Amino acid sequence: MNVIDLLKREQEKSEIPVLRTGDTVRVHVKVIEGTRERVQVFEGVIIALGSRSGLGSSFTVRRLSHGVGVERTFLIHSPRIDKIEVLRHGDVRRAKLFYLRDKVGKRARIRERRHPIGGTDMVMRREDLPFDVPGAEEDVEDDTAVAEMLDNGELQPVAHGEEVAVGAAEESADA
Amino acid sequence: MAKGILARKVGMTQLFTETGTVVPVTVLEADSCRVVQNKTVAVDGYDATQLGFGERLARRTPKPMVGHFKRAGLEPQRTLVELRDAGIPEVGSRVGVEIFAPGDIVDVTGTSQGKGFAGTVKRHNFSRGPVSHGSMNTRQPGSIGSVDAARTFKGIKMSGHMGAVRRTARHLKVVRVDTERNLILIKGAVPGARNSVVMVRDSDREGTL
- This model of the complex carries an ipTM of 0.72
Contact assignment for A77 to B183 by CB distance below 8 Å: no
* Whole-number pLDDT of residue B188: 93
The residue count for chain B: 209
| Per-residue pLDDT at A104 | 84
pLDDT at B183: 92
For residues B160 and B158, what is the distance between their CA atoms, to the nearest angstrom? Answer: 6
Report the C-alpha gap between B100 and B182 in whole angstroms: 11
Chain A residues with at least one Cβ partner in B under 8 Å: 2-4, 7-8, 11, 32, 55-56, 75, 77-81, 132-134
Rama region for A81: left / alpha / beta (φ>0; ψ in -120 to 50; rest): beta
C-alpha distances (whole Å) from A158 to each of A15, A76, A82, A119, A162 are 11, 19, 18, 10, 12
What is the mean predicted confidence (pLDDT) over B112-121? 95
| A78:B20 CB<8 A | yes
C-beta atoms of A134 and B11 within 8 A: no
Q: What is the mean pLDDT of residues B133-140?
A: 92
Give the bridge partners for B174, in sequence order: B186
User: What is the pLDDT, as a whole number, of residue B19?
Assistant: 84
Residue with more model confidence, B71 or A142: B71
User: What's residue B193's pLDDT?
Assistant: 94
pLDDT, tens digit, for every residue of B182-197? Answer: 999 999 999 999 999 9
pLDDT band per the 50, 70, 90 thresholds, residue B93: confident
Do the Cβ atoms of B63 and B4 come closer than 8 Å? no
Task: Give chain B positions within 8 Å (CB) of A138.
Answer: none
C-beta separation of B26 from B41 below 8 A? no
Q: What is the pLDDT of residue B8?
A: 93
pLDDT in tens, B43-68: 988 889 999 999 899 899 999 999 99
Nearest alpha-carbon partner for A154 in A125, A130, A128: A125
- Which of A140-144, A153-157, B132-136, B201-205 is predicted most confidently? B132-136
Total beta-carbon pairs less than 8 A apart between chain A and chain B = 40
**Type of residue at B94:** R
Closest CB to B18 among A77, A79, A134? A79
pLDDT tens for residues A41-58? 999 999 999 877 788 889
Give B167 to chain A, closest Cα distance, Å: 24
Span of A111-115, A163-167, B77-81, B126-130 with lowest mean pLDDT: A163-167
- High-pLDDT (> 70) share of chain B, %: 98
CA distance B180 to chain A (A): 7
pLDDT tens sequence for chain A (175 residues) = 688 888 888 888 877 888 889 989 999 998 888 888 888 999 999 999 987 778 888 999 999 888 889 999 999 999 899 888 888 888 888 999 999 999 888 888 888 877 766 655 566 665 544 444 344 444 444 445 555 555 665 444 444 444 444 444 444 444 4
Count Cβ neighbours within 10 Å for each residue of B33-55 and write b for 16 or more, e otherwise. Answer: bbbbbbeeeeeeeebbbbbbbee
Among the partner residues B13, B16, B180, nearest to A4 by beta-carbon distance? B13
Question: Which is more confident, A16 or B110?
Answer: B110
Residues from chain B contacting residue A78 (CB–CB below 8 Å): 16, 20
Sheet strands (E) in chain A: 15-17, 24-33, 36-49, 58-65, 68-75, 81-88, 122-125, 155-157
Amino acid at A30: K
CB B181 to CB A3 under 8 A?
Answer: yes
Distance CA A153, CA A171 (A): 35
The pTM (predicted TM-score) of the whole model is: 0.74
- Please determine, for residue B169, whether its predicted confidence score (pLDDT) is greater than 60: yes
